[in-house]
């Protein structure tokens, strides 16, 4: 993976997350879970490192941007 640049973490709350997983479905499921909670620049493809098992994905997340869905109260059970 390419180096993380200072601009990607230049302010409190900015996070770069490198994910490694068994397959595309696994890392995209993780990405989707993070993107449901915080503002996230999602990736459309994974990368593979020659000679290494699995796939990798990099995502950029802003923890200051909590999405409305994540903060909505859970529906009450009746």
Longest CA span, the chain: 54
Decide if 13 is inside a domain.
yes
| Distances 58 to 51, 73, 76 between C-alpha atoms, Å | 19, 30, 36
Strand pairing class (38-41; 14-21): unpaired
- The token pair at 50 is 């020659």
Q: Judge whether 38 and 62 are in contact, CB under 8 Å.
A: yes
Decide if 1 is inside a domain.
no
Decide if 72 is inside a domain.
no
- Specify the range with the lowest mean pLDDT, choosing from 10-14, 16-20, 41-45, 51-55: 10-14
Q: How far apart are CA 20 and CA 17, in angstroms?
A: 10
Decide if 61 is inside a domain.
yes
Q: Which domain does 22 fall in, by range?
A: 6-65
How many structural domains is the chain composed of?
A: 1
27-73 pLDDT, tens per residue? 999 999 999 999 888 889 999 989 989 999 999 888 888 877 655 55
């Amino acid at each position: 993976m390419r180096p993380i640049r200072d601009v990607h973490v230049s302010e409190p709350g900015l996070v770069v997350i490198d994910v490694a997983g068994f397959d595309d479905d696994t890392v995209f499921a993780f990405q989707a879970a993070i993107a449901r909670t915080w503002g996230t620049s999602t990736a459309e493809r994974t990368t593979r490192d020659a000679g290494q098992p699995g796939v990798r994905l990099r995502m950029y997340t802003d923890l200051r941007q909590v999405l409305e869905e994540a903060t909505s109260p859970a529906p009450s059970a009746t």
